[in-house]
Amino acid sequence: MTEQNQPTEVEDVLETSEANENEAEEQAQEKPSYEDLEAKVAELEGLLKEEQLRGLANEQNLRRRHQEEVQATHKYAGQKFAAEMLPVKDYLEMALLDQSGNFDALKTGVQMTLNELNKAFEHTQITEINPAQGDKLDPYYHQAIQTVESEQEPNTIVGIMKKGYQLADRVLRPAMVTVAKKKESES
């Protein structure tokens, strides 16, 4: 190559300097101004505020719905049991209206009423706590009303005064029982 075709160092420096100036101008044009940045920050803050308000509104709606559901649950908790008790009431009313004087018919009616009541208890998960004589006293399921001297082991059930009842696994009323105690030695 000839000397004329070869760029000189000065030309190289000038070209590099011009390229750097062009890049700086492009970057200056691409850089947003302070006002643009402030506007963008304000826009993002507005969006954030909207999201926060939406979140708070959703939270309030969930709380309100939950409170309404809890109130409805409390209000209608006995609905199933009440529906099961209606036939029992009907049978009792029919028994009171019976003027026949037939004791056997009355007894049959009472038995039918008891059967309906047992079905209602079964459908609503109410079960009897009916301990057997000789069972160990369990204070969770039994309430000792009386203690009597007995040949049985102490703290075992001698007799049942009233059956107990439980709803699912919760005791409604413990069985009321008589409990054995050790015989006192006579001197």
Q: Which residue has the tokens 């049985």?
A: 152
pLDDT at res. 160: 94
Per-run averaged pLDDT (10 residues), the chain, 187 residues? 56 65 64 86 91 94 94 84 88 84 86 92 92 94 93 92 93 95 71
| pTM score | 0.58
pLDDT at res. 134: 92
What's the sign of the alpha-carbon dihedral 38, 44, 48, 50?
A: positive
pLDDT at res. 95: 83
The residue ranges of every structural domain in the chain are 13-73, 78-124, 126-182
168: CB partners within 8 A, 6+ apart? 125
CATH of domain 126-182: 2.30.22.10
